[in-house]
A and B are shown apart, each in its own frame.
Chain A
């Protein structure tokens, strides 16, 4: 990497100005350390604010009741939003998990060719797409065609957000399973799909579960696609073809209302959402870092686990 001329130049450079260079080194270290502090301050501030303001809003009624009329004395609760988020997570997982896992299996077991590389590339690109574009897409494809906002459209949009994350994490965890396991299976004459299902998938199940959980944490907080697909509602869910509410959407609506009670409710809803998302993220990290799990470190390098 370094040519002899460069080395001579460096040596000349390093021999002089020792004092100044040490001072510069100290300054840079200080600056770099303050970068870390600057990045941590907002995290701490957000958590402190959400926890202190949100805890005040928490009551049983807040968690279970429907929202009251806008501006009325009884602010009601966020029951439909919590229910809607759960329903959306469940339904989008029904599409996202099987397709994502099967796609991951394809990439890992059959994907060592040109087609596999193409899919992998576009999968990575899809993972970084603005989610609002996915929302508009689901709107044009489903809402405009069917004619009404629906849980289906929301779940479809969220499953597209989930899919690339699960596909990539599945592929990476399957690749960590040693080839010898597969060879042992093949040597016994077991069919390939059984080898994949019973041997490879079960050895990689920790990584698989981590990927799915991270994808769930990601979609739990997604707002932009929902604006276009489920619209929001103040009633509990009655029909999968009708609009429903979701936590992030409710937070957005509440934040635009000028009432104090709406602000308190907004913090309360943010509290619930952040507890959901962070407990998944921290839980996954805690378990896997304690076990020094290779899969998770790999996910982090990919930027998926965030």
Chain B
């Protein structure tokens, strides 16, 4: 009795709801789809507009400098003696990101291995969360901390001993350590990209089927051997993808690096020593932007630097996503789906 009453009420509600929802002309559906399509297309339009604007904005500097904008190392914004070459900053970006990767990649793979293979299940989620919170901290806070706290430690405990040990004879440790240099910037950068690489590599390692590990254990492998022989080969291309994604972040990172790298310009910024102030593509834009007058060649040069950075980041990210997409395809949605 009660049951039938309830089902009556429900079904009548359904009918009313249905009638209500059937209202509206069939065109609404088409319009809705078009709006959704437009929103999705917006992304492509934005990317195309970024390219167009950067190219037109930097056109004056390409006209004046030509290819020497890429290969030259003069950087002079004094009127009538203007000359712009981005080579030192391209090198600075590569060296800075490279050192950061050297530090971050082994650490991140270690973290990924600990979280996927060794950690007790109870500890896994909180630990992974703590690592990911590192990525949530804004770049500028890393910069502030690096400038006010970390710099003193790195200067006293790492740079000065290294400098005293190897002295000026060695090239990479030459120069008086000051704390605001390529090494400090790279270490902070490494800390910033660890969470990216670590959390992706953890997911990739977790996606390796347990049967692979069990097969290795059955043959008598230790945990490390099982990891090396069963997990690593299986997740290789995914790990490379994770590394390249980390590289993409490292290349484009601006604020923390700006505050720590010391900001050399021109030929002095070509990186030779770890203890020497440097400059990257991103930092020169942030630093000199305020000085560039609107419509001038200096501004065009900075936009041109933006174009170079854009191309670098674009290539890196496309390669990374293609690699990761390959993993997803071959492992059927296991990773980064």
Chains A and B are bound partners: yes
Residues of A within 8 A of B (CB): 1-2, 7, 10-11, 14-15, 21-22, 24-25, 28-29, 31-36, 38-40, 42-43, 45-46, 49-50, 98-103, 105-107, 109-111, 115-116, 118-119, 121-126, 128-134, 136-137, 140-141, 144, 160, 163-164, 167, 188-194, 196, 198, 217, 220-224, 227-228, 248, 251-252, 255-256, 263, 266-267, 270, 273-274, 277-278, 281-282, 285, 289, 298, 300-303, 305-306
Chain B residues contacting A10 (CB-CB under 8 Å) are 216, 219, 221, 229
30 cross-chain CB contacts under 8 A: A2-B215, A15-B220, A24-B222, A25-B224, A33-B114, A35-B107, A39-B107, A39-B134, A39-B194, A39-B195, A40-B131, A42-B134, A42-B191, A106-B33, A106-B37, A115-B40, A122-B47, A125-B318, A129-B317, A130-B282, A132-B286, A137-B50, A167-B40, A190-B22, A223-B138, A224-B282, A263-B148, A273-B141, A278-B136, A289-B129
Docked Cα-Cα span, A45 to B145, in Å, equals 9
Chain B residues contacting A131 (CB-CB under 8 Å) are 252, 254
Q: Which residue of A lies closest to B46 (CB)?
A: A160
Q: How far is the CB of A195 from chain B (nearest CB, A)?
A: 8
Interface of B is mostly: helix
Task: Check B225 against A21 for contact (C-beta < 8 Å).
Answer: yes
Q: How far is the CB of A55 from chain B (nearest CB, A)?
A: 15
| With known contacts A7-B219, A223-B140, A192–B29 Cβ distance under 8 A | yes
Q: How far is the CB of A153 from chain B (nearest CB, A)?
A: 13
Task: Check A36 against B132 for contact (C-beta < 8 Å).
Answer: no
Chain A residues contacting B198 (CB-CB under 8 Å) are 39
Docked Cα-Cα span, A300 to B129, in Å, equals 10
Chain B residues contacting A224 (CB-CB under 8 Å) are 139, 254-255, 282, 286
Cβ-based interface call for B166 (8 A): no
Instruction: Find the residue from B39, B223, B249 having the highest chain A CB count within 10 A.
Output: B39
Q: Which residue of B lies closest to A109 (CB)?
A: B36
Interface of A is mostly: helix
Task: Check A274 against B282 for contact (C-beta < 8 Å).
Answer: no
Docked Cα-Cα span, A227 to B229, in Å, equals 49
Chain A residues contacting B142 (CB-CB under 8 Å) are 46
Docked Cα-Cα span, A67 to B106, in Å, equals 44
| With known contacts A14-B220, A129-B317, A136-B303, A38–B107 Cβ distance under 8 A | yes
Please classify how large the interface on chain B is, using the bins under 10, 10 to 19, 20 to 34, 35 or more.
Answer: 35 or more
Q: How far is the CB of B46 from chain A (nearest CB, A)?
A: 6
Task: Check B254 against A36 for contact (C-beta < 8 Å).
Answer: no
Task: Check B145 against A50 for contact (C-beta < 8 Å).
Answer: yes
Docked Cα-Cα span, A137 to B140, in Å, equals 21
Q: How far is the CB of B205 from chain A (nearest CB, A)?
A: 12
Q: How far is the CB of B234 from chain A (nearest CB, A)?
A: 7
The 10 closest A-B pairs by CB, nearest first: A130-B252, A221-B138, A35-B110, A102-B39, A306-B135, A193-B32, A106-B36, A25-B222, A136-B306, A14-B220
Contact for B141 among A50, A123, A289, A305, CB less than 8 A = A50
Q: Which residue of B lies closest to A117 (CB)?
A: B325
| With known contacts A36-B114, A303-B245, A129–B39 Cβ distance under 8 A | no
Chain B residues contacting A11 (CB-CB under 8 Å) are 219-220
Q: Which of B157-165, B265-273, B307-315 contacts A (4 or more CB under 8 A)?
A: B307-315
| With known contacts A40-B130, A111-B40, A220-B138, A130–B251 Cβ distance under 8 A | yes
Mask for B138-152, Cβ within 8 A of A = 1, else 0? 111111110111100
Cβ-based interface call for B63 (8 A): no
Task: Check A285 against B129 for contact (C-beta < 8 Å).
Answer: yes
| With known contacts A132-B282, A132-B285, A192-B29, A43–B130 Cβ distance under 8 A | yes
Cβ-based interface call for B100 (8 A): no
Chain B residues contacting A21 (CB-CB under 8 Å) are 222, 225
Task: Check A119 against B43 for contact (C-beta < 8 Å).
Answer: yes
**Those of B1-52 within 8 Å (CB) of chain A:** 14, 17-18, 21-22, 24, 26, 28-29, 32-33, 35-44, 46-47, 49-50
Q: How far is the CB of B154 from chain A (nearest CB, A)?
A: 12
Chain B residues contacting A118 (CB-CB under 8 Å) are 44
Cβ-based interface call for B182 (8 A): no
Q: How far is the CB of A85 from chain B (nearest CB, A)?
A: 11
Contact for B286 among A100, A227, A277, CB less than 8 A = A227
Q: How far is the CB of A134 from chain B (nearest CB, A)?
A: 7
Task: Check A128 against B245 for contact (C-beta < 8 Å).
Answer: yes
Task: Check B32 against A192 for contact (C-beta < 8 Å).
Answer: yes
**Those of B44-68 within 8 Å (CB) of chain A:** 44, 46-47, 49-50, 53-54, 56-57
Cβ-based interface call for B248 (8 A): yes
Docked Cα-Cα span, A224 to B129, in Å, equals 26
Q: Which residue of B lies closest to A99 (CB)?
A: B39
Task: Check B114 against A35 for contact (C-beta < 8 Å).
Answer: yes
Task: Check B252 against A255 for contact (C-beta < 8 Å).
Answer: no
